Structure 1
Amino acid sequence: MPLQIIPLRRPFYVQWLGLGLILITLGTVITFNLYFEHERTAVREHDRLSTQARVIAENTEYQLTSANLALENVRSNLAYWKDDAGQQAAIRHLKAASIIPGIRTMNIVDKEGTITASTRAELIGMNIGFRDYFQEVKQHPNADMLYVSPPFETIDGIFVINVIRMIAGEQGEFAGIVSATLDPEYFKTLMMSVQYASSMWVALIHSDGLVFLTIPDERENMEGVNLRHPDSFFTRHQSSGKKEQVFTNIMYATKEHGMLALRTIYPADLKMDKPLVVAVNRDSDSIFQSWRQHILAQGTFFGVIVLASTIGLFLHQHRQRNLEKEAAQARTLVDRFSFALDRIPTYIFMKDQQRRYIYANRSMLELFKCSAEELAGSSDSRFFPPETVARLYETDIRVLRHGEDTAEKVTCKGKDGHLRIYWEIKTPIYENDKKTSICGLCGISTDITELELLKEKLEQQARQDYLTGLFNRRFFMEQGNAELMRAQRYHHTLSSLMLDIDNFKKINDRHGHQAGDTVLKRLADVMRKMLRTVDIIGRIGGEEFAVLLPETDLQKATEVAERLREEVACTAVTLETGMALYFKVSIGVASLKDKDTDLNTLLNQADKALYQAKENGRNRVCLA
């Protein structure tokens, strides 16, 4: 849509001043756009790295909690395993407890440092009394503490971390330890799941400063490196006492410039002697690569405009006496200007004092699906619904009446009903050099719908279980507590179900973990199909699921559980071999009875009923 220029006889210095103001305004608009784009890029990457660090931290907290429960379970049964037969029972119990994802090995060690029972037979009888983690517990005994060892190299040459519970004697004295070795491969898989760019690296660090794990593989030379240095971001993060921080500068360990998100892993319900820290880093060059390309493109564009407009004005002044010829040359120069604007991948437009469009570049015309002639004189109501027109009107008035420069995020819904999000900059256009009268406005708008949808997607991933798509344990508990408070406030009924897949370990052992994952996803599909949209469904463990049924008493909840159990029993999973695999579930049912009952108590009641269903032969429903 060409700009119309009417040649006027003015003093040369006035024309040059006018051109200078236009170029300064345009340069300012471009500079502001690049500045805000740089800030948006940094903020977006800050949020993405923080989100990924939070995802790893929450999963690691869950694994530490699970490992702690396994250790406490083993420790509580030590009194029954004092004879030879008891040792075999202890080994079987250790193996059962170690099926929790993320645990590599579990050991029972006496006060002399000798391993008396282990999930690995070759370790039984070995003395590990010289190990620092054994000496730490022996020298600072505390039966209530979960000890987290610094990373150390095993006899297999693998860097691992142990989580440990002390065994107390009859007088509370040190009598040995129960330890669980965290599986590096599990945590590598977890860390790889959040790596969304090749320029990223992720690390898990002990609070003493030793690096436990890093990915990708080329970063594995960092394992065992001590980051406790006065100049390191790790030390600054530890000293701050904050749970999470993001730093941007040169990394102490790698000497690379990047953005680093650090988050301390310290579950509130665990008494740990030392926390872990997760680090997620991305190289600065890759973060701002696209932004630098925009600098080059818009700088080139601005240079073209400066050169073209300067030459144009010079020629215009040189041929001022021939008005018609000079006007034609001016139109040619303006057409070049318009041509350059049409090549910018953003929306550029101008409006007059009545908010009617007088100019739009090619990107804007393609967005509105009209020609330059059709756009001329049109208002926003032609292209947007009333609620969007009202928001645009408020911004235009601030520019046209008050002379404000605006830069803000705008959400617009087009005629087709699709929602788009833009970063929009608007500046007033003045009639004269004294800026006493505003004749219109100039606007530049950039589509950031994808920069916003990605952020929303990352936040959604933090709420969902990565395998089944159901609520993860943390988000399930948040929603469940809200529903429990609602039920208690309005005296509504509320019931809970606890489900567990029968013989799930055998499915994994016989058909592989991929088949086990398929079974978990199929069970999630059945639950979504059978239950209501108001029901709250979550995966809270490996093969354990929980459901909250609002406004449902115990009898109705039992009927729901029975229908769900029957539907699962009729559901088959087709393996890669073509064989149909059937699986079953046991279900425990509990209902809210006491107004002072909290969510954990309600779920524990259902869990006890689930345990009874398992004891009574599985594939059945039991009531609390």
Structure 2
Amino acid sequence: MKRPRIMQWSARQSASITVFAMLFGLGMISILGYQVNSSYRAQMAQARSRVDNLSQMLEAQLRSALREVDLVLRDLEDRVDVPALARSPLDDTRAKALQGLLLDKLTLVRQADNILLIAPDGRVVYQALDFGTAQPPFDAAQLARIRDDPYRERVYARLQGTDKHQQGIALARRLETRDGQFAGLVVANVTTAYFQQVLDTLDLGQHGIALLVDERSAAVAQRPGERPADDFSPDPQLLRQLNNGTLATGITVLENGAGVTRLVSYRQLAGSPFSVVVSTSSRDYLASWRNNNLYYLVGGSLLLAMALMMIYFFWRSHRLARNLQQKESRLNVSEVRFRQMIETIPVALLLARLPECFITYINQQGARTFDIPQAGALSLRAADFYLNSSDFREQLLAMDQTQGIRNIEVRMRRWSGEAFWASLSMSSVTVGEEITLMIGVSDITERKRLEGELKRRATTDSLSGLSNRAHFMELANQELARAQRYARPLALLMLDIDYFKRINDTHGHDVGDQAIRAVAQVLSATLRDVDVVARMGGEEFAALLPETTPELACAAAERVRVNIEAHRIALPNGSELAFTGSIGISALRRDDQLIDDLLKRADLALYHAKHHGRNQSALYDEIEPQQSA
């Protein structure tokens, strides 16, 4: 009986196999390392984007709330009898009428707690709600500065006191006599309770922090209500830069302290000395990443152990050279362990032979990702898994130039034809004359969907479905710059629902919301696709009309007004509700620099329309002589 032939291994063969095993193990570790690093960067980018979006939304909401208060105070300037106020106290009839006027205006702004009239000497002479003896929000020095500065129409002050009605922010506007003399102030108190309610709506995680601070970095309102976690305090230098205009729009920074890393976004409320600070803790936004990272480390350790075991078995087979059966047995054991390691990693792995690019191996995760049997993939080329085969050719060229690509986002497709987003890494290993292409794929479709949803929420008003104020301002300023550059006409419409407070009080806020959605539908259906339409806040809307002359803008405004007047809302009791809207129109002028210039003129035209009968439109250029008079 012949003995089985013993297979002999040359030194070169053993060395080649050992090198291949080492390169393969190192390649897999590199893929896992890059995947861990990529997931960390992606998590940080997502967390930074989220905290920045939250601070933008918070700043826009608070700024819009203060602007609503300012609009009410500006209306009171025109309606308060300044000479009679100077002769206070008024008789009972006129005093009750004045207090009723203040109370009516207070009901228009839910964020305000009280409205006060302050005499030139600083005394509180009248208030909408009687909380006892009201404390003046401005001391003698502040009042003197306001009196001596006639160009300062709007003034802010910090309310401080033991009573809940004396804590928050005071917003004031000057009252002047006909000859321009200082006649006192009309003041609205926005208490800390309102700001606290807004901050409590933010989803910042268990350790998140949100603050509204004044120019001295003192908190007006904060979330959580007690002292912020980790003894966090905002950076006074960044707040000073926001107040003095060095940082124009705000900044998001990474701060370390008390063993915790925080992403902190600073933004100033435009036109005021107050800023919002939104912070999220790494204990929240990195929690899932740490859990996933543990699995990556375990997989990497197994990978390294398996690579070392492969080297060991090849070395033993060369040294012992017992017989072919022993060598095949050892190789089979090694192959089983290797496949177990490959099959358990949470990354779809494809191996392809270059230059033909035929798939030589796909792991179970890859089969699940591409929805194809493992055996069925062996007859395909690597490009067949791409939505566009040109992307694969470009990546092959880039890999030759850079020695591998790491964590790029690409559109791929499952065997059923369904497209999905993937994070892909690609490298190659050369053994002898054979080149093996290694492709690691992670499905990031859900992450891309979340990124798109966050972007949509940051730019869209949730009630009306139109653009929100911040997105409108961005698009409108871009359109204004284009119109100025090419000397093209541009018009702006400002629309306000007439007697909206009455609709809410009579029929409820649900009907009021239906009215807002109805106006949004009318604007979208009546105006062109190129027009930029947005809800600016409350019942106020704006529409920017490119390539539109004042005459065409007036015609468009009239169509919108007629369609709103013709619209009906079905009420629960079977009746129908009709309502109207007033529209202010402004046109682009040569010296306009920002969309705020058109907004201001359109706002004045809207004010004119509402105070001359409502349910009409007014062009600022036509009423300007009256405004000047």
Q: TM-score, normalised by structure 1?
A: 0.81
**1:504 CA drift (Å):** 0.8
**1:315 CA drift (Å):** 4.6
Instruction: Return the match for 1:260 from 258, 263, 271.
Output: 263
Question: Over residues 356-385 of structure 1, what are the superposed CA-to-partner deviations in whole Å (9 max), with x where a residue is unaligned?
Answer: 322222222233333333322532442334
Report if the CA contact (8 A) 2:122-2:140 is conserved. no
Measured in 2, the distance between the counterparts of 1:233 and 1:381 equals: 51
Report if the CA contact (8 A) 2:58-2:276 is conserved. yes
* Inter-CA distance 584–81: structure 2 relative to 1 (3 Å threshold): farther
Amino acid at match of 1:277: S
Report if the CA contact (8 A) 1:113-1:127 is conserved. no
Report if the CA contact (8 A) 2:206-2:284 is conserved. no
2:520 corresponding residue in structure 1: 524
Report if the CA contact (8 A) 2:369-2:443 is conserved. no
1:156 aligns with 2:164: yes
* Inter-CA distance 612–285: structure 2 relative to 1 (3 Å threshold): closer
**1:62 CA drift (Å):** 3.1
1:351 corresponding residue in structure 2: 352
Q: For residues 427-446 of structure 1, what are the structure 2 equivalents within 5 Å?
A: 427-431=427-431, 439-446=435-442
Report if the CA contact (8 A) 2:306-2:338 is conserved. yes
* Inter-CA distance 185–384: structure 2 relative to 1 (3 Å threshold): same
Report if the CA contact (8 A) 2:313-2:334 is conserved. no
* Inter-CA distance 449–78: structure 2 relative to 1 (3 Å threshold): farther
2:102 corresponding residue in structure 1: 94
Q: Which runs of 5+ in 2 are unaligned?
A: 1-6, 623-629
* Inter-CA distance 328–208: structure 2 relative to 1 (3 Å threshold): same
1:57 corresponding residue in structure 2: 59
1:246 aligns with 2:242: no
1:222 aligns with 2:221: no
1:368 aligns with 2:370: yes
**1:506 CA drift (Å):** 1.1
2:44 corresponding residue in structure 1: 42
* Inter-CA distance 157–515: structure 2 relative to 1 (3 Å threshold): same
1:282 corresponding residue in structure 2: 280
Question: Over residues 162-214 of structure 1, what are the superposed CA-to-partner deviations in whole Å (9 max), with x where a residue is unaligned?
Answer: 23346679999976543222244543454344426444332212231222222
1:128 corresponding residue in structure 2: 135
Amino acid at match of 1:409: I
Report if the CA contact (8 A) 1:81-1:89 is conserved. no
**1:296 CA drift (Å):** 1.6
Amino acid at match of 1:350: L
1:465 corresponding residue in structure 2: 461
Number of aligned residue pairs: 592
SS across alignment from 1:102:
coil
1:564 corresponding residue in structure 2: 560
Q: Which runs of 5+ in 1 are unaligned?
A: 1-5
Measured in 1, the distance between the counterparts of 2:358 and 2:520 equals: 54
1:305 corresponding residue in structure 2: 303
2:25 corresponding residue in structure 1: 23
Question: Over residues 314-333 of structure 1, what are the superposed CA-to-partner deviations in whole Å (9 max), with x where a residue is unaligned?
Answer: 45525642224423442343
Amino acid at match of 2:405: T
* Inter-CA distance 306–291: structure 2 relative to 1 (3 Å threshold): same
SS across alignment from 2:226:
helix
1:3 corresponding residue in structure 2: none
Measured in 2, the distance between the counterparts of 1:35 and 1:151 equals: 48
Measured in 2, the distance between the counterparts of 1:154 and 1:469 equals: 42
1:534 aligns with 2:539: no
Measured in 2, the distance between the counterparts of 1:312 and 1:512 equals: 74
Report if the CA contact (8 A) 1:57-1:263 is conserved. no
Q: For residues 454-493 of structure 1, what are the structure 2 equivalents within 5 Å?
A: 454-484=450-480
* Inter-CA distance 260–554: structure 2 relative to 1 (3 Å threshold): closer
Question: Over residues 248-294 of structure 1, what are the superposed CA-to-partner deviations in whole Å (9 max), with x where a residue is unaligned?
Answer: 4555xxx5724232313142xx3x4xx22212222212211222122
Question: Over residues 128-154 of structure 1, what are the superposed CA-to-partner deviations in whole Å (9 max), with x where a residue is unaligned?
Answer: 25x6x4345136444445443345245
Instruction: Return the match for 1:508 from 504, 517, 533.
Output: 504
Report if the CA contact (8 A) 1:166-1:177 is conserved. yes
* Inter-CA distance 300–48: structure 2 relative to 1 (3 Å threshold): same
* Inter-CA distance 548–398: structure 2 relative to 1 (3 Å threshold): closer
Instruction: Return the match for 2:142 from 137, 162, 171.
Output: 137
Amino acid at match of 2:186: V
Measured in 2, the distance between the counterparts of 1:175 and 1:613 equals: 28
* Inter-CA distance 438–235: structure 2 relative to 1 (3 Å threshold): farther
* Inter-CA distance 258–602: structure 2 relative to 1 (3 Å threshold): closer
**1:220 CA drift (Å):** 0.6
Report if the CA contact (8 A) 1:309-1:333 is conserved. no
Q: TM-score, normalised by structure 2?
A: 0.81
* Inter-CA distance 321–159: structure 2 relative to 1 (3 Å threshold): farther
2:34 corresponding residue in structure 1: 32
1:382 corresponding residue in structure 2: 384
SS across alignment from 1:222:
coil
2:4 corresponding residue in structure 1: none
Amino acid at match of 1:424: L
SS across alignment from 1:221:
coil
Amino acid at match of 1:406: I
2:410 corresponding residue in structure 1: 411
* Inter-CA distance 298–181: structure 2 relative to 1 (3 Å threshold): same
Report if the CA contact (8 A) 2:166-2:191 is conserved. no
SS across alignment from 1:498:
strand
Moved more, 559-568 or 298-307: 559-568
Measured in 2, the distance between the counterparts of 1:42 and 1:428 equals: 29
Amino acid at match of 1:359: Y
* Inter-CA distance 302–122: structure 2 relative to 1 (3 Å threshold): closer
Amino acid at match of 1:397: L
Q: For residues 103-252 of structure 1, what are the structure 2 equivalents within 5 Å?
A: 103-123=112-132, 126=133, 128-129=135-136, 133-135=138-140, 137-138=142-143, 140-141=145-146, 142-145=149-152, 146-150=154-158, 152-153=160-161, 155-156=163-164, 159-165=167-173, 176-195=184-203, 197-215=205-223, 219-222=224-227, 232-238=233-239, 242=247, 244-250=250-256
Report if the CA contact (8 A) 1:203-1:278 is conserved. yes
**1:120 CA drift (Å):** 0.9
Identity %: 21
1:397 aligns with 2:403: no
Report if the CA contact (8 A) 1:265-1:276 is conserved. yes
**RMSD value, Cα:** 3.9
* Inter-CA distance 610–334: structure 2 relative to 1 (3 Å threshold): same
**1:96 CA drift (Å):** 4.7
* Inter-CA distance 412–606: structure 2 relative to 1 (3 Å threshold): same
Report if the CA contact (8 A) 1:80-1:86 is conserved. no
Amino acid at match of 2:305: L
Moved more, 142-151 or 445-454: 142-151
